[in-house]
Amino acid sequence: MNPMLWSVGLPVAAAAAYLVLGWRNTTRWFAVMAGGATLIWSATTVALSSPQSPHHASALFVLAISAAAVLAFLALPARIDAELADQKMGDRAAAWSAALTVSLLAVAILTVTVTDLGLSWLVLTAGIIPTAALMTYQRTPSGRRAARRLVRASVPTTLGGLVAVVLYWFGEPSAMAMLLLGAVLIAHAVAMPAALARTGVMSQLPSPSPILVFVTVPAAAAAVVVRWSGQAAFVLGVTGVRTFLLVTGIVILLAATAAMLWSRDLRSLLGYAGCANGGFAVLLAAAGPASGNLVAGYLLAFGAIAAALLIATADVVTVVGSSDLRLVGGWSGRSRPHATVMTVALAALAGIPIWGVWLSTFEQWGGVTPLVGFAAVVMAAAVFMAGRRILGQAAAHPHLASRRLAEPPAGLPVMTAGVGASVLLVVTGSVWLV
């Protein structure tokens, strides 16, 4: 049994505590404690397990997921307290909101740690339930409409997934069944975030839920796609399949990056970033079956940049209350340097995994050790600095959430770290390729 499977009990226990005890001073930090304990558990598993261990890669994915979850959970008390003070929700609704938010972490961890591909898909699809419930807990018409749009957007992948899982579980092992299951998993990893971004569903999710939905869930989907590539080696050996996946992954990454550059809303940016993460998963599948070392390099390189960039802007929305950041079009007129570094960082999101595919020929740590070490440091810095920023601003300005963002936020140290990491990683990768 995967030792990381037991870590699912931590967020489940926190969610149960909110439902039983309610939202109060003694329970407000249960989510952060559950996420932090999961982070420590996964880091310990990574340190003690061999890179060749089948559980090593899943522990790496849980490590990235729990790091993002901790950042989101740090913003949870300030948001709920503000809505309670404004009488936008009652104590019972606050408890349900906290429980549903924590349950998103449980869904992501369970998706990564279960070994059966069909069961992983079922858990991943079931994550739609708490997401839709978060849109309707305030019982507003717009929230109900958003929940219905989410359900409609998930119908095609759900129906296709049911057919694929039935063939996978009850039919004879065949290339067609594995290809269909892989197509469904890739579609869920790529199409769902794009659909959420285009339909405006995420505008109805309370902060910090968009961070969880568009960082943890796509990462969990990527983990399942990587596991599929390990079990579908005979399918990837078919002429043209691997090449098709490589081209598809690169096209998805470039298209999603272009969409991010033209996004005028942070939640749309998060949605297209989730779509890019799906393209990253396709590249992992095409380069697989990958070793634990290679997965570590891929995951930390992409995850560090995504965490540093997305969470640096997301924490501003958490405390300021606006997601309309006018990323490229608006900032270029007021702060051209800021718009320039945003463009470079977002372009690097597509560039890193693309050149990382060619690093798949290096099956030793010698080719990826500097990359992994630097990316790990940047991710740790992002967790610390963004968390401190969220806590500091929320404590200093408890009513800041009602204000609108009138100008580009000043002094985003985590974004600066993300941009620096993007440039250095791309340069380092280019040197290795030459």
Whether 420 shows a pLDDT value over 70: the answer reads: no
pLDDT of residue 208: 64
Residue 82 has pLDDT above 60, yes or no: yes
Lowest mean pLDDT among 105-119, 121-135, 288-302: 288-302
Query: pLDDT grade, residue 16 (50/70/90)?
Result: very high
Confidence (pLDDT) at 402: 37
SS (H, E, C) the chain: CCHHHHHHHHHHHHHHHHHHHCCCCCCCCHHHHHHHHHHHHHHHHHHHCCCCCCCHHHHHHHHHHHHHHHHHHHHHHHHHHHHHHCCCCCHHHHHHHHHHHHHHHHHHHHHHHCCCHHHHHHHHHHCHHHHHHHHHCCCCHHHHHHHHHHHHHHHHHHHHHHHHHHHHHHCCCCHHHHHHHHHHHHHHHHHHHHHHHHHCHHHHCCCCHHHHHHHHHHHHHHHHHHHHHHHCHHHHCCCCHHHHHHHHHHHHHHHHHHHHHCCCCHHHHHHHHHHHHHHHHHHHHHHCCCCHHHHHHHHHHHHHHHHHHHHHHHHHHHHHCCCCCCCCHHHHHHCHHHHHHHHHHHHHHHHHHHHHHHHHHCCCHHHCHHHHHHHHHHHHHHHHHHHHHHHHHHHHCCCHHHCCCCCCCCCCHHHHHHHHHHHHHHHHHHHHHC
pLDDT at 88: 75
pTM for this predicted structure: 0.73
pLDDT for the residue numbered 343: 55
Q: Which residue has the higher pLDDT, 373 or 119?
A: 119
Which comes out higher in pLDDT, residue 334 or 138? 138
Q: Is the pLDDT of residue 430 over 50?
A: no
Q: Confidence band (pLDDT; 50, 70, 90) for 383?
A: very low
pLDDT for position 414: 41
Residue with more model confidence, 166 or 368: 166
Q: Which residue would you say has higher pLDDT here, 44 or 338?
A: 44
- Mean pLDDT of the 11-18 span: 91
For residues 74-81, give the mean pLDDT: 76
pLDDT surpasses 70 at 102: yes
* Per-residue pLDDT tens over the stretch 261-319: 676 666 666 677 777 777 777 777 776 655 555 565 556 555 555 555 555 555 445 44
What's the mean pLDDT in 401-422? 41
**Residue 353 pLDDT class (50, 70, 90 cuts):** low
Which pLDDT tens digit goes with each residue over 162-184?
Answer: 888 888 788 766 667 777 777 78
